[in-house]
Structure 1
């Protein structure tokens, strides 16, 4: 096994152009457009530890969750495209339709996707709702009476698939009060305190408060049980058809990164997500590992923009 790993590393080094082979020459920075403690922060830190080992340089994580992540994404977009500052990228297209920002795939250099998780709808442990169907029926009857925390900026990571599920159920989602925030951790704290009726987040992000008995998942938007959370009901049980919705997490740089430097990042990410320590850490946190190379990530970003426009227009948001 060690011999195979050594040969793999040699192959990576041999395929790098001279400029990339010298990269990096100094410490690296990863911008996380989310608050500390949420899924984006946690998974990026796990990846960052592996990247430190692979690049043999310190990797500093900087959290910028202000504006639901807009501040961090702007910092990333405007960074010098030399490869020394990259950032966490996640479903971003919804910002445009709520008037916060207009990020496009062309604003970034895709480097590699490393995580994918399904969205879940959660309630306070004291909530009267014991099933997703009960909750959806109540929201459908009086949508303006309920609030849903989006975790980050509304129209983004978790709430778009949840809103799509509600639309399929016949709910007038424009009347629901969607509450933006600076990350899942803050939203879950607000949910546990009774400040909102529902929370959209991933199951791993809610695991600690759920284990402590403060919040409770009603359902997960996955076509099959989520490993580590097999007891959580599937949303498809309430809708009568499979439901699949969630997030992806990737690293990207600002637009204009040199191809050889981007390739060095791509190869490092590929090596990191296959490492035993990363896989074990992600498994302990019940986070899904999903690797996509630069080309596949570029295609995902384009698809994400198209699908988000379709959903947001159906929700009544005007394109800006």
Structure 2
């Protein structure tokens, strides 16, 4: 089991009794999961996987349909919820860690982490810092020493522009080395596949990616993973890769996937959705379904999760200010 740290200590989550649906006084009517992107992406999978298993296990007494609402990597969805469905008890919205980053950087307009009700997470991937197999960097301290010597002399590349999730992962490493992340030589690519090709081709030296996307190259011994950005070592093929914390660098980057509800969702509905996710996490069929999507266990719901989401967004906002992505206050 993946343990959580700092903001969220791991807890055992009980399996809820079926009678809670009626006891809470709420039963969903034509419920809907909004995926804030086109079909096929991470948000879409989050909705479709979760709603399917909720129905198959009987946790939800009715089908939950998925509505795709692309635009602004979640900006259209959060604006829709706040403008038109502020108290709707029958709608949830998929999010990821990238949503927190966008909130922190003001990319959702005037809406932020306090303009939704955070329901819970269904799982997480974790960031990794990778180099080519023949790289002179053998651990995270080697890379940090390289940054100290010449932060602009080590080409780094991944998907997304400056301020994106992948950029932020390595920016945290540069900052831990006492360097200004804005001075990094960062090359943006259209996706992780293009960035990995650039790493293997020697065009960049460092690739900050996700654990789920680099397993093939790691198993083929094409790359070294300097660190996983998780609270504990990951299971499976990456079990021998040390965490950043093991190497004295206090950095974690979980790519959390889960759901939020409208800001004025009634308490009875909020309790039902929170309990549904809790029961899903505890169901014996869930782990296999989650793992098949490259997600590791990350069990957190309700008020605990709300506090975690708000704290993480605040941390990302401060980082964005520190490196000049958003104006300092």
Picking from 28, 33, 38, the partner of 1:29 is: 33
In 2, the alpha carbon distance for the partners of 1:150 and 1:77 equals 33
**Cα gap change, 1:212/1:290 in structure 2, threshold over 3 Å: closer, same or farther?**
same
**Cα gap change, 1:316/1:134 in structure 2, threshold over 3 Å: closer, same or farther?**
same
Q: Helix, strand or coil: the match of 1:171?
A: coil
In 2, the alpha carbon distance for the partners of 1:268 and 1:258 equals 15
**Cα gap change, 1:273/1:266 in structure 2, threshold over 3 Å: closer, same or farther?**
same
Q: List per-residue Cα deviations over 1:231-269 (Å, max 9, x = no partner).
A: 22322455x355433333320123222322222221211
Q: Helix, strand or coil: the match of 1:201?
A: strand
Q: List per-residue Cα deviations over 1:85-138 (Å, max 9, x = no partner).
A: 422223344336655334412221222222244321234667665543443333
Q: Helix, strand or coil: the match of 1:110?
A: strand
Q: List per-residue Cα deviations over 1:257-314 (Å, max 9, x = no partner).
A: 2322222221211121111121222245552222323211221122123322332333
Q: Helix, strand or coil: the match of 1:165?
A: helix
Q: Which residue of 2 aligns with 1:121?
A: 129
Q: Which residue of 2 aligns with 1:226?
A: 234
Q: Helix, strand or coil: the match of 1:142?
A: helix
Q: Which residue of 2 aligns with 1:268?
A: 276
In 2, the alpha carbon distance for the partners of 1:303 and 1:242 equals 16
Q: List per-residue Cα deviations over 1:133-174 (Å, max 9, x = no partner).
A: 443333443333455456557546454454223211122211
Given that residues 68 and 152 in structure 1 are in contact (C-alpha distance below 8 angstroms), is that contact kept between their aligned partners in structure 2? no
Q: Which residue of 2 aligns with 1:80?
A: 85
Given that residues 69 and 76 in structure 2 are in contact (C-alpha distance below 8 angstroms), is that contact kept between their aligned partners in structure 1? no
**Cα gap change, 1:95/1:285 in structure 2, threshold over 3 Å: closer, same or farther?**
closer
**Cα gap change, 1:289/1:237 in structure 2, threshold over 3 Å: closer, same or farther?**
closer
**Cα gap change, 1:188/1:128 in structure 2, threshold over 3 Å: closer, same or farther?**
farther
Q: List per-residue Cα deviations over 1:3-35 (Å, max 9, x = no partner).
A: x97x8112x223221xx22x12x2523314588
Which is richer in helix?
1
Q: Which residue of 2 aligns with 1:89?
A: 95
Picking from 305, 311, 319, the partner of 2:313 is: 305
**Cα gap change, 1:211/1:36 in structure 2, threshold over 3 Å: closer, same or farther?**
farther
Q: Which residue of 2 aligns with 1:14?
A: 22
Deviation, structure 1 residue 176: 1.8
Q: Which residue of 1 aligns with 2:10?
A: none
Deviation, structure 1 residue 212: 6.2
Given that residues 44 and 68 in structure 2 are in contact (C-alpha distance below 8 angstroms), is that contact kept between their aligned partners in structure 1? no
RMSD of aligned Cα (Å): 3.6
Alignment: residue pair count: 304
Given that residues 188 and 206 in structure 1 are in contact (C-alpha distance below 8 angstroms), is that contact kept between their aligned partners in structure 2? no
Deviation, structure 1 residue 180: 6.4
Q: List per-residue Cα deviations over 1:178-233 (Å, max 9, x = no partner).
A: 5667xxxx521121231765443331243355456776533212343111221223
Given that residues 31 and 61 in structure 1 are in contact (C-alpha distance below 8 angstroms), is that contact kept between their aligned partners in structure 2? yes
Q: Which residue of 2 aligns with 1:57?
A: 63
Point out the more displaced range, 197-206 or 162-171: 197-206
Point out the more displaced range, 191-200 or 220-229: 191-200
Normalised by the length of structure 2, the TM-score is 0.74
Q: Which residue of 1 aligns with 2:252?
A: 244
